[in-house]
Amino acid sequence: MSGFSKGAKLACVMLGVALLSACGNKVSLENYNRIKVGQSYDEVRQIVGDPAHCDETLGIRSCQWGDSNRSIRVNFAVDKVVLMSAENLK
């Protein structure tokens, strides 16, 4: 971003913070309660957005939204929710 003015750099930083804040707001007890066994990965993404990360082992995709302080974890088998848990949601 060396070719950008200070104002443009500041605008980019502010946009990034706003986007991250919006994503964080989706990690809530209300949205967790909307996730149901049998929903697809895409249906869950529509509720809580893109996950912070996913791992896959032996056909089970384990995804986490949020961070180590507040999170939603969902396990998918054959693209369907089979198990979910939440930590420190409000």
Domain 6-87 has CATH 3.30.1450.10: yes
Q: Please state, in angstroms and rounded to a whole number, the distance separating the CA atoms of residues 85 and 2.
A: 43
Q: Please give the residue that has the higher pLDDT: either 35 or 68.
A: 35
Q: Please state, in angstroms and rounded to a whole number, the distance separating the CA atoms of residues 59 and 51.
A: 18
pLDDT at 4: 66
Kindly report, residue by residue over 16-67, the tens digit of the pLDDT: 544 444 444 899 999 999 999 999 999 999 999 999 999 999 999 999 999 9
What backbone phi and psi angles, to 5 degrees, belong to 6? -60, -40
Domain coordinates in residue numbering, the chain: 6-87
Looking at the predicted structure, is the pLDDT value of residue 15 above 70?
A: no
pLDDT at 25: 80
